Structure 1
Amino acid sequence: MNQQLAFMPALLACACAAQAQSSVTVFGALDAALTHSKGSVASGTTMSNNHWGASKLGFRGIEDLGGGLKAGFWIEGAIFPDSGAGGATNTNNQPGGQGSVGGLTFGRRSTVSLFGPWGELRAGRDLQPHYLNIGLFDPFAHIGIGQAQLPTSTVAGVTTTWIRASNAVHYRTPGTLGGAFVHAAYFLGEKPKDGAATARDGNGYSLRAGYEAGAVRFGVGGMQTDFATGRVTNASIAGSYDFGAVEVMAVAMRDKVAGAPPDGRGRQLGLRVPRGAHEFRAQASRYTSTAPSAPRTTRFAVGYGYDLSKRTTLYGIVARIENAGGAARTLEGALAGPDGSATGVAIGIEHTF
């Protein structure tokens, strides 16, 4: 008995050392709002989600392997506070792999990583590098009624690989390059190589490179995904400058589907003005098709948030879209016919943990 007890301090020391070298964090956010939208065809009032921040539940951890190496994981799922439902995911980067909203999936992110002096290798499902080059420069984080029009109008569609991709391998350069970085990803549709036209459906790559240091952020991005119906491509250039009193951000984007004209052009200009517990956001964006009638949708949005604490924010957002050239885009809860318009208001609360 005494010999067994003699080993206890050593075992406890080992356990403490292991605990010091590893960590696991539970995190998340809930964002819910009452939204009223009025369109040229129909209006509606809804309890909606995700206007100031994305509702989610996640777990992440990291382990120090020694010798400058670390291993980590990150799983994160979408939650809809209005109903308690979980967000969907896509198993193979193709329309047929898109699931339905229901039980919780880790469709926002599900990755395992290895870190070293050479950077990070990451495997699983995650945001696309080219999408980050657009979403990181939207003051409304490309969610809710305030988001830029670019991701909702794209000719490529957003249900496959425009925002996230499954079955992917990512590489990110280390943070020791004086602000310069490269982020690349290659992903698989996992179709059998049987010679069929669909054999490469869901395969592709996504890239982003740029500079982030101090008040300056700049990046260029691009992606390609193969489908039998046409190769989808996207390219963008984006940047921002933080003047302290206000951060100004801008994006220019082009996307197309090979053999299936027209293609599209997107532009967005945003402002973020932090003032202690107060934050103001504003954005103007336009997406235009190269079709003969030049269908285009312009969206304007302004928002205000007040921090009740470090984790809880009350907010209000007003947005309006205007269609021309036969476009008929709309806002949540409203309908707008060709060349119609819609206006929406969201009043909500976001709580992070």
Structure 2
Amino acid sequence: MKKSLIALAVLAASGAAMAQSSVSLFGIIDTGIGYIDNATPANGNKWGVGTSGNATSRIGFRGVEDLGGGLKAGFWLEGEVFGDDGNAGGLNFRRRSTVGLEGNFGEVRLGRDQVAGYNKTSSYDLFGQTGVGQFMGWRNWDGAVNTGNVGDENGIRANNLVSYYTPNFSGFKAGISYGFDEVQGESNAGRYIGGNVSYDNGPFSVALSYDRLEISQPARGLGDRDNVTLAGSYNFGVAKLIGIAQQQQYSYDAGGADRKFNNYALGVAAPVGGAGEVKLQYARYDQKATSGEADQLSLGYVHNLSKRTAVYGTVAYLKNKDGSSLGLQSKGINTTAAVNQKQTGVQVGVRHSF
């Protein structure tokens, strides 16, 4: 009898523990057809099937365990999915691979992740930092090399990251990230530090971020890339207005003038008929380091067929001048414009989340 009671107690405790833990599978598949003219230095056009025109395609696993006393442990593994070729290069978890603790003190994360200098202020881009319509301020403007995080020269994500995010204090929140360079020698190339502060109160939202990434540049040697971004939005109900102002500055140990790139965006999004949304966004890229300038105008429409599925269309126009040669960004259709060339890009596709 005692053994039976003990067994029942063990099973009950096991069931309670299982009830306090959860693991879920999630993802987005976004695939569409796109066209961009003047997509090469020789003014050739490109078209085809691409991915992530409205939201970045991904698959991931996340889990949380309630440790009691308000303390939780969790993990997050997330990799990008390329619907056009089925991940010919293989699936990895370079979008995010973290483990952390969360409680009344806030949240601490360890691992590869978006940096705190990007993840909040970038959220004001009406095109979600993807597709031909996206705001292109976060890019590798000066051709830098990130020895510690090859492929992350734009400073959006970092390896070997430690991040802390505060609780919500009456609408105020903050976050800070530090990325170890873990490179032999004393160059510190690849080291990252950055953070953000934000305030959200009803229809009003504003955020300020700053970060520094230690980089090298083939022609100028070791240096720092400093990025300051101020962004905000106000939702009037009938429409939401957003604004972004950013400066990236590159300075090098060998001296010489700092190389600055100022970027701006202004946009409006409005619901249409209960199931749709139309968005219009203008961006200016003032490349002071090279005296080049570019203007981008993006128009998009998203129609929700259900809570999980939507169809979308985006048209973007980019005008380079004064020596600028920016190209519209589109996964699956890479572009490099000729100097002072104009580009027009079109994308239509389907997005499904699970």
The alpha-carbon deviation at position 64 of structure 1 amounts to 0.8
- In structure 2, the partner of 1:344 is 345
Identity %, equivalent residues? 34
Distance in 2 (alpha carbons) for counterparts of 1:47 and 1:154: 27
Aligned length: 331
Distance in 2 (alpha carbons) for counterparts of 1:34 and 1:154: 28
Alignment of 1:138-217 (within 5 A): 138-152=125-139, 154-155=141-142, 159-160=152-153, 162-175=155-168, 177-192=169-184, 194-195=185-186, 198=187, 200-217=188-205
Alignment of 1:89-168 (within 5 A): 102-152=89-139, 154-155=141-142, 159-160=152-153, 162-168=155-161
The alpha-carbon deviation at position 181 of structure 1 amounts to 1.0
Q: Structure 1 residues 161, 116: CA separation in 2 closer, same or farther (over 3 Å shift)?
A: farther
The alpha-carbon deviation at position 3 of structure 1 amounts to 5.9
Alignment of 1:5-24 (within 5 A): 5-24=4-23
**Partner amino acid for 2:134?**
Q
- In structure 2, the partner of 1:283 is 281
- In structure 1, the partner of 2:67 is 65
Distance in 1 (alpha carbons) for counterparts of 2:140 and 2:156: 13
Q: Determine whether 1:250 maps to 2:243.
A: yes
Q: Determine whether 1:325 maps to 2:322.
A: yes
Q: Structure 1 residues 21, 156: CA separation in 2 closer, same or farther (over 3 Å shift)?
A: farther
**Partner amino acid for 1:191?**
V
The alpha-carbon deviation at position 273 of structure 1 amounts to 1.5
- In structure 2, the partner of 1:98 is none
Distance in 2 (alpha carbons) for counterparts of 1:156 and 1:73: 34
Distance in 1 (alpha carbons) for counterparts of 2:49 and 2:215: 37
Distance in 2 (alpha carbons) for counterparts of 1:318 and 1:33: 13
Distance in 2 (alpha carbons) for counterparts of 1:313 and 1:164: 28
Q: Structure 1 residues 282, 153: CA separation in 2 closer, same or farther (over 3 Å shift)?
A: farther
The alpha-carbon deviation at position 32 of structure 1 amounts to 0.3
**Partner amino acid for 2:37?**
K
- In structure 2, the partner of 1:235 is 228
The alpha-carbon deviation at position 14 of structure 1 amounts to 1.4
**Kept in 2: contact 1:43–1:335 (CA 8 A):** no
Distance in 2 (alpha carbons) for counterparts of 1:337 and 1:50: 25
Matched residue SS, 2:245: strand
Decide which of 48, 51, 57 is 1:49's aligned counterpart.
Answer: 51
- In structure 2, the partner of 1:303 is 300
Q: Structure 1 residues 65, 237: CA separation in 2 closer, same or farther (over 3 Å shift)?
A: same
Distance in 1 (alpha carbons) for counterparts of 2:98 and 2:138: 24
**Kept in 2: contact 1:251–1:268 (CA 8 A):** yes
Deviations 1:133-168 (A, max 9, x none): 431110111111010131246337673351001101
Deviations 1:172-225 (A, max 9, x none): 1112x1011110001111023x44xx2x11112011012112111111101012
Distance in 2 (alpha carbons) for counterparts of 1:64 and 1:37: 49
**Kept in 2: contact 1:298–1:321 (CA 8 A):** yes
Moved more, 102-111 or 129-138: 129-138
Q: Structure 1 residues 154, 243: CA separation in 2 closer, same or farther (over 3 Å shift)?
A: farther
**Kept in 2: contact 1:63–1:71 (CA 8 A):** yes
**Partner amino acid for 1:329?**
L
**Partner amino acid for 1:257?**
Y
For normalisation by structure 2, the TM-score amounts to 0.88
**Kept in 2: contact 1:205–1:225 (CA 8 A):** yes
The alpha-carbon deviation at position 67 of structure 1 amounts to 1.4
RMSD of aligned alpha carbons: 1.9
**Partner amino acid for 1:273?**
A
Distance in 1 (alpha carbons) for counterparts of 2:211 and 2:143: 11
For normalisation by structure 1, the TM-score amounts to 0.89
Distance in 1 (alpha carbons) for counterparts of 2:64 and 2:214: 34
Decide which of 254, 261, 265 is 1:264's aligned counterpart.
Answer: 261
- In structure 2, the partner of 1:31 is 30
Distance in 2 (alpha carbons) for counterparts of 1:134 and 1:322: 25
Structure 1: gaps of 5 or more residues: 87-101
Q: Structure 1 residues 290, 321: CA separation in 2 closer, same or farther (over 3 Å shift)?
A: same
